[in-house]
Homo-oligomer: A and B are copies of this chain.
Amino acid sequence: MARVRNLKEILVRLKGLSQLMVDLGYAALIEDDFELAQEAIRVKAEIRELSYELRKEALLVARYTKDSRHDIPQIASLLQIGVAIKEMSDGVDDLLEVVIRNVGVHPIIRMAYTRKELRTMRFVVEEGSLLDGKKLEEVEIDLKTGFRVVAIRRKEEWILDPHGKTRIKGGDVLIVEGRDISIRKMQEHVKGPKEKAQEKNSK
């Protein structure tokens, strides 16, 4: 039973991670942003690890299953999901190449994508900033403010689909999707007191 629970959790997480990686890949390309590309590569590392776990667990289910041989094609379908996610993440890798080789994104790419109102960006929450220690719902990160936190990276751990009760901490990396204007406002909220003070002085 523990094995089944384990497989279930691996599948849920792999689905979330692969969708996040596709979004990050496009965002890295559109923003021509090396940091966003790095985040996508981090997601990829976890996908690779979990795909391996998926294969192992699927084989164990195949070994210990008490049911008929009819189950074998079904268990093969579990392995198939691993293959699929690997291939999708390879595709995103090809997108990232464009950013990482640092040849400069072609102006047409820029033209094609920048008219879109929605942007995906990456913010580091500084300690002592407005967001540090607050729940997502407290800082009104909802549709009223025009943006949505898609994922949070806390050190090497990804929090997928964060909800209102999720508390933000200093040092968190937020992946945010939203309207261009809201995103620029957001840049204020993640700044720590030190950087804010420096800005005041420089005025």
A interface residue numbers (CB < 8 A to B): 4, 7-9, 11-12, 15, 18-19, 22-23, 25-26, 29, 61, 71, 73-78, 80-81, 83-95, 97-98, 101, 103-109, 111-113, 116, 143
Residue from the list B11, B80, B83, B111 in contact with A113, Cβ < 8 A = B11
What is the predominant secondary structure among interface residues of chain A facing chain B? helix
What's the Cα separation between A143 and B148 when bound, in Å? 14
For residue A22, which residue of chain B has the nearest CB?
B22
Number of copies of this chain that the complex holds: 2
Given contacts A12-B113, A81-B98, 6 further A-B contacts (CB under 8 A): A11-B108, A19-B26, A29-B81, A77-B101, A84-B92, A143-B143
The chain B residue with its CB closest to the CB of A87 is B91
Q: Chain B contacts of A12 at CB under 8 A?
A: 112-113, 116
- A114 vs chain B, min Cβ distance (A): 10
